[in-house]
Chains A and B, each alone.
Chain A
């Protein structure tokens, strides 16, 4: 602002300084009478240099061959996504509350909803929620509003973050979470069926589950059919190219982490959560929904619809408190699915199936590495390192430029020597072979170290 502007503006208002505006409104006893205790501002190039230096102190997926997954995956993000999301018309607009000037976003939401419906085999989809685990918790709230039952039955194959988030939300609205253990790598069907009763408001499982195993989703859903429970499945969207869609397995609400669909890792966010359901839950869905309509001239157009579910209309009666969701990330999702296309998603799924199988076969052939379970796996699998210190093995592998995956013992006491290995289309056979070589050496070295230590 120029001095001339300032003088003119102050004069128009009729005050002598900006401070006078604050003094007239903020009582003296709550004014901050000192500068903020923060560093001085920096020119753009120095801020860039500082943020670049911080970035350089992280080991990213560009710096190592990584098999780390456990909920977020290093898929290739096509260049068109950067280009489209970087357009100011997608990057900088407000929520589409003025539909006449937001047709781009509203139509993209409509397309996104269509794509998610196709993927999940469920007829209705919202236009995104925050991310995977909070989507699970939102499904819990939907169940709470739908049937009011106080018990949630949750498979231990559900992502630990989803279970924790669900428990946090559920404590607020008064539901209790009961966990069902895993058996042979999948949800223990007997324990699952036994846990479900007339007080069960919702049941939750994950497909493929946290150990990478493909669950019998239809059987898990069927076990809840005589109870009031809403069947909630958290799905990885990428294997849905080849896996039976939740809509054909009796799932009522399908949620999931959308990061794998064209979103960056970003150290955990922003990404988006998807949320699809059977028709019966359309008016109980959280978040926004775009709908088709016509304008005053009869032209096709799109608006936010069924807004009476939302907090700005119904306030305390809303079906969620979500206001800002993840529109830009969901846009990346629909662009990504369009980029892959109908056949591409299938091919990607088959590629992951083959590579996952190959990697598992090669790893379990190593001395000291065993399969944690024998279930079918699509993109991720768990092995046991048979009594060695998994963290130490991981460190040795990382020193050799390979991140072998996630130490299951961080979340599962029952698998203290488990390692979870994730594949994407970015990990070639050569990368897998390198993993086998490095992990084999690391396990051998650790076993030697362990033997040495105990001798």
Chain B
């Protein structure tokens, strides 16, 4: 990766230099002051960069070379499913009929797009076992908000005010954040020693004031909760809804369905299970699927199919809709990619993907055990796992003097993106590993050997890991200084 001093685009170029050539003013020109009164006009120009196209290209290509990416390296990143992004998807999403389609184009002139969305809804409904789907949410966390607002509408419709939402202590941070944002109170539910929901704690907290339980299954410990039908019963018996955080759906496609487990609402992360590239933090897409009783509250507009096979957008399709969560129809560009993925894999391929994801995770675990890595980084829960597993770096820290963060930074020197660190919160020095189905045995072996090598090295000299990384564009960064006196923009000359 590129190593040189960082200069921003604002520090490059020269006054008057440019890439853009404006089209000529081809209409009869009128004095601009008459068209826009001076009081509404900008006095000083925005100090945007002034660079030529070659400078522009070079700058951003150089920046790109200071990034780690999935196409050149392995991301065993728990709870985030960083699997291969087929390039066919970029090609089809770039077709003008998809990419230059205006969102307000009338439905009869957007039939292909509506059909694609309709088909995608049906496929997601089948995978989740919950038939009614809205593609609108822009990310998993946005889908969560939709789900919790749906729950609010569901209870309000029954004349009930319910204040609490239960979230396990293993939950993603988005769950409690969403709950608060939707005006509910977060109540934590504990985890039992097998890594599942503590049923006694759940029973104690589940009462008529509870609106919903939000659950990931398999959860962030890589554990599929064997008590799921009992959990669903406890929650439903008090009239609450059961929400499925779909972050880990990649483990169970074609093997088990949230709808069959008793969930009322599920969100999908198209950028996880359905191969939308992560883009350095987005775009994502977070469709939701719901059961029959939650259907009336879904977001409008609804895609409807007429008897003649034509498609339409119905602004009032769901009669008790919570409303809209964003502009237009959602992240359609992501729908195109995920739909292409589903077409490519089909029923069998999606099932194979989950099987291989689980195989790879368990193989990696076995390999780490064989190499002695688990002696220093034991598995936090269970013996086998679903598609991901959590190790605890606590013994490593005690015996070898390096923290999970040090291990992660040293992995960078070995050419691997580190697994998720310090999450889930209930595991001390947590390392959450998810290899995904698109990695080969050789890659998994290489990663396991790198972990083993770092531990061996730390046994001799912990300073090496403590001061890592060494080979990256910058060394370990001072995050505390950045937060203490935030510099969040390039200072510019007047």
Give the docked Cα–Cα distance between A422 and B126 (Å): 41
Q: Mark B42-78, 1 if CB is under 8 A from A, else 0.
A: 1101111111010011011101111111111001010
Within 8 A of B (CB), among A246-264: 248, 257, 264
- Provide 14 A-B residue pairs closer than 8 Å at the C-beta atoms, listed in order of the A residue: A51-B95, A55-B98, A66-B102, A68-B102, A70-B104, A84-B57, A95-B280, A110-B489, A168-B149, A168-B325, A292-B488, A294-B478, A318-B176, A357-B27
Residues from chain B with a CB closer than 8 A to the CB of A305 are 479, 482-483, 486, 488
A-B contact count, CB below 8 Å? 699
Contact B141 A132 (CB under 8 A): no
Contact B344 A42 (CB under 8 A): yes
> In the complex, which of the residues B63, B96, B269 contacts A62, with contact meaning CB atoms closer than 8 Å?
B96
Interface residue B362 (Cβ < 8 Å from any Cβ of A): yes
Q: Mark A261-275, 1 if CB is under 8 A from B, else 0.
A: 000111111101000
Give the docked Cα–Cα distance between A87 and B270 (Å): 21
Interface size on B, residues (CB 8 A): 199
Known: A118-B46, A307-B483. A58 touches B111 (CB 8 A): yes
Contact B102 A269 (CB under 8 A): no
Known: A172-B145, A341-B48. A114 touches B489 (CB 8 A): yes
Interface residue B116 (Cβ < 8 Å from any Cβ of A): yes
Contact A38 B85 (CB under 8 A): no
Give the docked Cα–Cα distance between A264 and B333 (Å): 9
Find the residue from B1, B49, B257, B483 having the highest chain A CB count within 10 A: B49
Contact A269 B283 (CB under 8 A): yes
Find the residue from B94, B473, B476 having the highest chain A CB count within 10 A: B473
Known: A32-B254, A115-B48, A291-B488. A303 touches B477 (CB 8 A): yes
Give 7 nearest A-B pairs by CB, closest first: A55-B97, A268-B328, A41-B346, A328-B279, A268-B103, A270-B283, A57-B112
Residues from chain B with a CB closer than 8 A to the CB of A270 are 138, 282-283, 285, 331, 333-334
Contact B99 A357 (CB under 8 A): no
Contact B347 A39 (CB under 8 A): yes
Contact B115 A101 (CB under 8 A): no
Give the docked Cα–Cα distance between A14 and B8 (Å): 53
Contact A80 B277 (CB under 8 A): no
Q: Mark B134-150, 1 if CB is under 8 A from A, else 0.
A: 00001111101100110
Q: Mark B167-189, 1 if CB is under 8 A from A, else 0.
A: 00000111011111111001000
Contact B90 A101 (CB under 8 A): no
Is chain A's binding surface mostly helix, strand, loop or mixed?
A: helix
Contact B101 A265 (CB under 8 A): yes
Contact B479 A26 (CB under 8 A): no
> In the complex, which of the residues B25, B64, B386 contacts A87, with contact meaning CB atoms closer than 8 Å?
B64
Give the docked Cα–Cα distance between A324 and B82 (Å): 13
Within 8 A of A (CB), among B1-53: 1, 5-6, 8-10, 16-20, 22-23, 25-30, 32, 35-37, 39-43, 45-51, 53
Interface residue B159 (Cβ < 8 Å from any Cβ of A): no
Interface residue B469 (Cβ < 8 Å from any Cβ of A): yes
Within 8 A of B (CB), among A49-102: 50-63, 66, 68, 70-72, 74, 78, 80, 82-84, 86-96, 98-102
Q: Nearest B residue to A337 by beta-carbon distance? A: B48
Contact A59 B333 (CB under 8 A): no
> In the complex, which of the residues A98, A167, A345 contacts B48, with contact meaning CB atoms closer than 8 Å?
A345
Known: A41-B348, A95-B280, A103-B474. A74 touches B100 (CB 8 A): yes
Contact B90 A98 (CB under 8 A): no
Known: A267-B329, A348-B22. A44 touches B36 (CB 8 A): no
Contact B145 A295 (CB under 8 A): no
Interface residue A156 (Cβ < 8 Å from any Cβ of B): no
Stretch in B224-232, B372-380, B392-400 touching the partner: B224-232
Known: A270-B331, A321-B145. A165 touches B8 (CB 8 A): no
- Closest-CB distance, B343 to chain A (whole angstroms): 5
Contact B280 A339 (CB under 8 A): no
Contact B332 A266 (CB under 8 A): yes
Contact A40 B347 (CB under 8 A): yes
Interface residue A29 (Cβ < 8 Å from any Cβ of B): yes
Give the docked Cα–Cα distance between A339 and B223 (Å): 49
> In the complex, which of the residues B10, B22, B366 contacts A12, with contact meaning CB atoms closer than 8 Å?
B366
Contact B478 A13 (CB under 8 A): no
Residues from chain A with a CB closer than 8 A to the CB of B9 are 111, 334, 338
Contact A130 B489 (CB under 8 A): no
- Closest-CB distance, B403 to chain A (whole angstroms): 15
Contact A311 B141 (CB under 8 A): yes
Residues from chain A with a CB closer than 8 A to the CB of B355 are 18-19, 22
Contact B26 A293 (CB under 8 A): no
Contact B103 A72 (CB under 8 A): yes
Contact B70 A243 (CB under 8 A): no
Q: Mark A108-142, 1 if CB is under 8 A from B, else 0.
A: 10110111011100011101101111100000010
Contact B92 A48 (CB under 8 A): yes
Stretch in A221-229, A282-290, A363-371 touching the partner: A282-290
Interface residue A25 (Cβ < 8 Å from any Cβ of B): yes
Residues from chain A with a CB closer than 8 A to the CB of B291 are none
Contact B50 A341 (CB under 8 A): yes
- Closest-CB distance, B234 to chain A (whole angstroms): 16
Contact B97 A57 (CB under 8 A): yes
Contact A131 B359 (CB under 8 A): no
Residues from chain A with a CB closer than 8 A to the CB of B229 are 27, 29-30
Interface residue B274 (Cβ < 8 Å from any Cβ of A): no
Residues from chain A with a CB closer than 8 A to the CB of B281 are 94-96, 105, 127, 288, 324-328
Residues from chain B with a CB closer than 8 A to the CB of A132 are 327
Residues from chain A with a CB closer than 8 A to the CB of B148 are 172
Interface residue A320 (Cβ < 8 Å from any Cβ of B): yes
Interface residue B326 (Cβ < 8 Å from any Cβ of A): yes
Contact B110 A55 (CB under 8 A): no
Interface residue B249 (Cβ < 8 Å from any Cβ of A): no
Known: A55-B98, A165-B323. 17 other contacts (CB 8 A): A27-B229, A30-B228, A40-B348, A84-B61, A99-B477, A100-B412, A101-B1, A107-B8, A165-B325, A218-B39, A270-B283, A291-B482, A296-B475, A299-B475, A310-B173, A346-B45, A430-B26
Contact A21 B362 (CB under 8 A): yes
Give the docked Cα–Cα distance between A246 and B36 (Å): 16
Contact A312 B56 (CB under 8 A): no
Give the docked Cα–Cα distance between A111 and B9 (Å): 7
Interface residue B472 (Cβ < 8 Å from any Cβ of A): yes
- Closest-CB distance, A421 to chain B (whole angstroms): 13
- Closest-CB distance, A167 to chain B (whole angstroms): 6
Within 8 A of A (CB), among B366-413: 366-367, 370, 384, 386, 408-409, 412
Q: Mark A1-34, 1 if CB is under 8 A from B, else 0.
A: 1000110111011110011011011110111100
Find the residue from B40, B88, B348 having the highest chain A CB count within 10 A: B40
Interface residue A244 (Cβ < 8 Å from any Cβ of B): yes
Residues from chain A with a CB closer than 8 A to the CB of B236 are none
Give the docked Cα–Cα distance between A172 and B330 (Å): 20
Interface residue A174 (Cβ < 8 Å from any Cβ of B): yes
> In the complex, which of the residues A18, A161, A242, A351 contacts B328, with contact meaning CB atoms closer than 8 Å?
A161
Contact A267 B113 (CB under 8 A): yes
- Closest-CB distance, B228 to chain A (whole angstroms): 6
Find the residue from A30, A32, A72, A282 having the highest chain B CB count within 10 A: A30
- Closest-CB distance, A273 to chain B (whole angstroms): 9
Residues from chain A with a CB closer than 8 A to the CB of B68 are 93, 98, 101-102
Contact A134 B183 (CB under 8 A): no
- Closest-CB distance, B473 to chain A (whole angstroms): 5
Contact A432 B488 (CB under 8 A): no
- Closest-CB distance, A77 to chain B (whole angstroms): 9
Q: Nearest A residue to B326 by beta-carbon distance? A: A134
> In the complex, which of the residues A92, A323, A351 contacts B22, with contact meaning CB atoms closer than 8 Å?
A351
Residues from chain B with a CB closer than 8 A to the CB of A119 are 46, 48
Q: Mark B292-307, 1 if CB is under 8 A from A, else 0.
A: 0000000100000000
Known: A111-B10, A338-B56. A243 touches B69 (CB 8 A): no
> In the complex, which of the residues A37, A78, A168 contacts B126, with contact meaning CB atoms closer than 8 Å?
A37
Interface residue B423 (Cβ < 8 Å from any Cβ of A): yes
